[in-house]
Structure 1
């Protein structure tokens, strides 16, 4: 991670004098007047204020936003996370942070953030930029966020791949102090997370675990689905094999039973034949005995 003075993209601040009512004016308005005042504030950011930066720039913001949204949703915390949304402070020209977080705020869809209407401004901001600006421009932007009372500001230079963090030392302070880099990380007290860079990608870490981004979650779920499909197919193959083996075993058992019955039948037949032979032998023996007896009688007569 490179070290050096960062310079924030000047496109982060809307130069046109588009302002929300002052807090004093807001306090005097009726509910209907407040609603009309909010609706009158522009939603879109002019192209000359924030020109398109391309897919790589968009992916940095989108990945970080989705990771944070998913994290706080899992924790069931009321945290609002947004990107490139116009933020209106009382009687101030609007700012359009690349990424910002508001604690204790309903995470619903919005087209703009009006501080007077919402009751507070962003607590945490990340600005992503791709080209260096003059030092005085950087100072102006850092000073502006501090003056607005934004607790933490992080600057990411995607091209030169460095990250810087700033923090208000106390809630009433309006001047930032640098957040120290410790073991390659910056700690955000607002989020309770650490920030670091992985190449051009901004990563948030909870302890040692990086918060997964949407594409990583999709990839992981896809891998889990593939694994589940493979396991299901293997289970089905095992079931088919077991059924086949059971059928084969059943056929073998049936054949064995049939063979046993045939053997028994042959044995019974042999026994029957033997019994018949025995009976015939007995009859023959009896007849022979009778014949001998008759023969002896005849000899006696002689």
Structure 2
């Protein structure tokens, strides 16, 4: 008589569909929300040229099952991951994705600064193993810093000659930019290429395309006007050489009336 062996009782870790993805806590201020949007928008625009990658902010990042019991800190204000599919997520679940964020940015406030600079920094270093970690205070732009994970320990990132903090993990730089974003003129933290070119927002990119199209149209019009002027000069020279209007029209393609209107 055969004996039925019961299947082992295996508890699978929860998926992103089963995990909480909203803690109901708003951003610290409108400036913080706008700064987060600026970082995400420009990075996503850069990702549009790639086949991989993900960026988001104020979203839970689940890196251990123990964290489900603690629930002791919110998700990063900004994080980005390369080498992953471009799909929507409710939250970032490391055991589903196979990796954690490559870069994290926290936006400081009087309430969060101590936690961001100490507790969270240690979590990103020791538990999440985030390659590059940065912080920035939207109301005090001088309070910014970056750290790169070397042999398991965060080492300060020294600003380069252009006063940029470079993230080797994503091959981009962060810089402080004085300008207007969504009607607010202040110093913003922005992504840039390693040559210092700002990553544009989607709106800025569309404006650039429109400006380039207008410039190309103007250049085409100028070329057409120069060609027309040269053709008219050729027609004048031919008339002055003794050719008839009909002969000049056959050579230049201008109409008889156009040739007759020339000031000779």
Specify if TM > 0.5: yes
CA shift for structure 1 position 28? 3.9
Which residue of 2 is the match for residue 282 of structure 1? none
Structure 2 runs not aligned, ≥5 long: 1-8, 179-186, 249-264
Number of matched residues? 219
CA shift for structure 1 position 119? 1.4
CA displacement 1:141-180 (0-9 Å, x = unmatched): 222222322222100111110320122222xx2x423222
Give the structure 1 partner of residue 254 of structure 2: none
Partner of 1:208: 195
User: Contact (CA 8 Å) 2:16, 2:90: kept in 1 or not?
Assistant: no
SS of alignment partner, residue 37 of structure 2: helix
Aligned counterpart, 2:43: 68
Establish whether residue 155 from structure 1 lines up as the match of residue 127 from structure 2.
Answer: no
Larger radius of gyration: 1
Question: Which one has the bigger helix percentage?
Answer: 1
SS at match of 1:61: helix
Cross-structure match for 2:106: 127
Q: Secondary structure at the match of 1:60?
A: helix
1:224 is the counterpart of 2:224: no
The residue aligned with 1:83 is 57
For residues 105 and 136 of structure 1, do their structure 2 counterparts lie closer, same or farther at Cα, with a shift above 3 Å needed?
Answer: closer
TM-score scaled by length of structure 2: 0.67
**Residue of structure 2 equivalent to 1:193:** 172
Give 1:121 shift. Answer: 1.3
Residue 100 of structure 1, CA deviation: 0.7
- Distance in 2 between residues matched to 1:44 and 1:132, nearest whole Å: 20
Q: What CA RMSD, in Å, does the superposition of the two structures yield over aligned residues? A: 3.5
- Would the aligned equivalents of 2:58 and 2:74 in 1 still touch at CA under 8 Å? no
What secondary structure is seen at the aligned counterpart in 2 of 1:168?
A: strand
Distance 1:137 1:59 in 2: 19
- Which whole-Å CA distance do the structure 1 matches of 2:231 and 2:155 have between them? 72
Considering Cα pairs closer than 8 Å and 6+ residues apart, tell me whether 1 or 2 has the greater RCO: 1
TM-score by structure 1 length? 0.59
Q: Displacement, 1:125?
A: 0.2
| Higher fraction of strand | 2
**1:213 & 1:137 partners in 2: Cα distance?**
27
Distance 2:21 2:177 in 1: 33
Which residue in the other structure is 1:253 paired with? 245
